[in-house]
Amino acid sequence: MPAREIKPNIFSVGAIDWDRRLFDELIPLFDGTSYNAYLIKGTDKTALLDSVDPAKESELVNNLKELNITKIDYLVCHHAEQDHSGTIPKILRIYPEAKVVTNQKCKEMLKDMLLIPDHRFIEVKDRETISLGDKTLDFILAPWVHWPETMLTYLKEDRILFPCDFFGSHLATSDLYVTDEPLAYRSAKRYYAEIMMPFRTSIKKNLEKIKDMPIDIIAPSHGPIHKKPSFIMDAYKDWVSDNVKNEVLIPYVSMHGSTKKMVDYFTEALIKRNIIAKPFNLTATDIGELAMAMVDAATIVIGSPTVLVGPHPNVVYATYLANALRPKAKFASLIGSYGWAGKMAEQITGMLTNLKVEVIEPVIIKGYPKEADFKALDRLADDILRKHMGITGQ
């Protein structure tokens, strides 16, 4: 991606990774991603905000050359994860005067992970500022979005917030700014679900910190830049709120059709009660879609056959992820089938220790579902309807 001017003397100098298909060897990237870095030239000093993933270091270096940058005074590191910090050692070699500006926690992480020597750092505290002459960098510590060391920079004079991962999205696009709002919303929501959702409480506090700041532009480190800050800030406010939607997420696996029959019947039972049902066949869906559906759902009902007395391993994986991602669901249950015996219900519910959910009585049946089993699924749908009416009024 070539260097592009955002405002006079403020440039986007990062890289687009069109082909990347997996992040952290875990998260599918259907739309690729970008590693955004920003160069700010003040009348006295020049600052580079973040670097790029090491796979794209030549793009960052070339962009700086293209802009004839011969000196960088400050290399601000908002977040130690290597997709933003990985090229810092290279930049420090090319620009020997540059100092890494970051907070104490991030500094220690960079020393551990990238072996950057102590003398190359300038340590800053919350709301400390650094002047570039006509421009001022105001640092805001924002822990746990999504690591403990994360911080943001507010460029006062230009009213630009650089929040690194916060408000980002894994979206490779040649658009410098958000142009397609539905696409940007979906990408940002997916990113929130996969990366930020476990830190919902911290994000709420960090949103409070910035809510009254005059912000014209939000320039994150992944995905397009927001010229309409309220678009992404309002979306985050909704996602991190305690409000849940009248939705039931049903991640499931079926080996011989019994659990599938239950899921199909149960899905219809929910629809008849005007509840939004979202069944996810775990052999066919991707975890990002599943995570995204967890952002709003009031209830999660896990469907599983019995394998060696316990749940299907794919269901264990999805349950582990659900527990780790800490969605705000308020209710959970389980449906499924066994051949001769099983301890599936205890094992699954025992894995949901992070979730503050009320467990509604599961429907675990022997073999293929029969009349009484369908009645039990209707009972579960009725229970969910009552619970949802109690919290959403729907």
Q: Which residue has the tokens 């269901």?
A: 315
**Cα(198)–Cα(68) distance, rounded to whole angstroms?**
42
CB 130 within 8 A of CB 101: yes
Residue 31 in contact with ligand FEO, rule: CB under 6 A: no
| Per-residue contact flags (x/-) with ligand FEO for residues 146 to 165, judged by CB under 6 A | x------------------x
Shorter beta-carbon distance to ligand FEO: residue 191 or 239: 191
User: Coil, strand, or helix at residue 24?
Assistant: coil
Interaction with ligand FEO in 291-350: which residues (CB under 6 A)? none
Told to check if 200 binds ligand FEO by CB under 6 A, we report no
Q: Given candidates 81, 149, 194, 247, which one binds ligand FEO under the rule CB under 6 A?
A: 81
Quote the least distance from Cβ 375 to ligand FEO, whole Å. Answer: 48
Nearer to ligand FEO, 17 or 83 (CB): 83
Q: Indicate whether 79 belongs to the interface with ligand FEO (CB under 6 A).
A: yes
Task: Name which of 142 and 377 has its Cβ closer to ligand FEO.
Answer: 142
Q: How many residues contact ligand FEO, by CB under 6 A?
A: 8
83 counts as binding ligand FEO under rule CB under 6 A: yes
Q: Contact between 84 and ligand FEO (CB under 6 A)?
A: yes
Question: Given the complex with ligand FEO, which of 109 and 316 has the nearer CB atom?
Answer: 109
Measured CA to CA, the distance from residue 263 to residue 302 in angstroms comes to 9
Q: Closest-CB residue for ligand FEO?
A: 81
For residue 170, state whether it binds ligand FEO (rule: CB under 6 A).
no
Binder of ligand FEO out of 222, 328, 330, 388 (CB under 6 A):
222
- 99, 116, 219: which is closest to 168 by C-alpha? 219
- Closer to ligand FEO by Cβ: residue 189 or 222: 222
Q: Are strands 310-311 and 276-281 parallel, antiparallel or unpaired?
A: unpaired
> Among 356, 358, 155, 336, which residue's Cα sits nearest to residue 347?
336
In terms of CB distance, is 148 or 257 closer to ligand FEO? 148
Q: How far is the CB of 163 from ligand FEO (least distance, A)?
A: 11
Interatomic CA distance for residues 282 and 298, integer angstroms: 20
- The reply to whether omega before 79 is within 30° of 0 (cis) is no
Look up residue 192 and give its two tokens. Answer: 């929130």
Q: The tokens of 36 are what?
A: 């955004």
**Distance in Å, CB of 147 to ligand FEO, minimum:** 6
What residues are paired with 76 via a beta bridge? 49, 101
**How far apart are CB 29 and ligand FEO at their closest, in Å?**
12
Instruction: Give every CB contact of residue 360 below 8 A, 6+ residues apart in sequence.
Output: 299, 331, 332, 333, 380, 383, 384, 387
Other beta carbons within 10 Å of 208: 9
d(CA 198, CA 353): 13
Q: Which residues pair with 311 in a beta bridge?
A: 306
First to last CA, the chain: 47
Contact track, ligand FEO, 257-286, x by CB under 6 A: ------------------------------
In angstroms, give the least distance from the CB of 165 to ligand FEO: 4
- Alpha-carbon span 245 to 388, nearest angstrom: 8
Q: Would you say 266 and 272 are in contact if contact means Cβ atoms under 8 Å apart?
A: no
For ligand FEO, the closer CB: 148 or 367: 148
Q: Which residues lie below 8 Å from residue 138, measured CB to CB, with a gap of 6+?
A: 127, 129, 153, 154, 155, 156
Contact region for ligand FEO (CB under 6 A) — 77-85, 242-250, 286-294, 336-344?
77-85
* Segment interacting with ligand FEO, rule: CB under 6 A, options 78-86, 212-220, 248-256, 368-376: 78-86
Residues in contact with ligand FEO, shown as a per-residue x/- string from 129 to 148 under the rule CB under 6 A:
-----------------x--
| Site residues (vs ligand FEO, CB under 6 A) | 79, 81, 83-84, 146, 165, 221-222
